[in-house]
């Protein structure tokens, strides 16, 4: 039994009081852009319904995903930032958090998921492809923001951000007849 399967990890909506723990996870990641602690307080106040944290029985935060429904595309959930504690053995936790968000997003009318991944983050790219495969979604990629869109940070160029847009697979014409909802859980 993996740590994730153990009953002591709960996926739930974040609360503003979770902000310090999430902020520390981001700082410890060495790969994520660190936002202010205030940012996470506001995010968890205003976007708790479309975000998720993974908490242990003693309410220690070991993972999170911040997400929102795009205002100009209400059919799309954008997963913006995520991390799992590196000192915690929880295989599949990141994918499970994405499924949790997708399940909740259907109540808001979302049928597509977007995220951005920098080309050097192979682990997240593979995780998103696994999530899309498990849900029966097609994956489309394109550069959303190039390196030139970011100012140099301490002499280091920011890598491009590649948009992963995961959309319902289009059934083949021969597969006519009733189908499951495009965003239904495939787990």
**Cβ atoms of 61 and 25 closer than 8 Å:** yes
Distance (Å, whole) CA 98 – CA 88: 18
HEC string of the chain equals: CCCCCCCCEEEECCCHHHHHHHHHHHHHHCCCCCCCHHHHHHHHHHCHHHCEEEEECCCCEEEEEEEEEECCEEEEEEEEEEEECCCCCCCCHHHHHHHHHHHHHHHHCCCEEEEEECCCCHHHHHHHHHHHHHHCEEEEEEEEECHHHCCCECCECCCCEEEEEEEECCCCHHHCCCCCCCCCCCC
d(CA 129, CA 137) in angstroms, rounded, equals 9
Tens-digit pLDDT profile for residues 104-140: 998 889 999 999 998 888 888 999 999 999 999 999 9
**Could you read off the pLDDT of 56-78 as tens digits, one per residue?**
999 999 999 999 999 999 999 99
**Residues β-bridged to residue 117:** 162
Give me the mean pLDDT over the 141-162 stretch: 84
Distance CA 91, CA 164 (A): 22
Q: Percent of the chain scored above 70 by pLDDT? A: 84
* pLDDT at res. 180: 40
- Average pLDDT on 164-180 reads 64
Rounded mean pLDDT of 37-58?
Answer: 96
Percent of the chain at pLDDT above 90? 63
In terms of C-beta density within 10 A (0-12 exposed, 13-18 middle, 19 or more buried), how is residue 136 classed? middle
Q: How confident is the model at residue 156 (pLDDT cuts 50, 70, 90)?
A: confident
Round to whole Å and give the CA distance between 151 and 179.
47
Question: Is 70 exceeded by the pLDDT of residue 175?
Answer: no
């Amino acid at each position: 039994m993996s740590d994730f399967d153990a009953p002591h990890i709960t996926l739930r909506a974040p609360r503003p009081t979770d902000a310090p723990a999430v902020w520390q996870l981001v700082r410890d990641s060495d790969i994520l852009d660190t936002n202010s602690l205030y940012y996470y307080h506001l995010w968890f106040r205003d976007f708790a319904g479309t975000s998720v944290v993974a908490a242990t029985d003693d309410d220690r935060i070991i993972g999170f995903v911040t997400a929102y429904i795009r205002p100009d595309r209400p059919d799309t959930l954008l997963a913006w930032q995520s991390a799992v504690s590196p000192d915690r053995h929880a295989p599949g936790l990141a994918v499970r958090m994405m499924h949790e968000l997708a399940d909740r997003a259907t109540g808001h009318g979302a049928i597509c998921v977007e995220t951005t991944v920098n080309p050097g983050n192979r682990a997240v790219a593979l995780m998103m492809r696994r999530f899309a495969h498990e849900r029966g979604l097609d994956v489309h990629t394109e550069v959303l923001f190039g390196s030139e869109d970011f100012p140099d940070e301490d002499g280091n160029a920011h890598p491009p951000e590649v948009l992963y847009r995961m959309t319902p697979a289009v059934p083949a014409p021969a597969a006519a007849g009733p189908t499951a909802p495009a965003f239904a859980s495939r787990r």
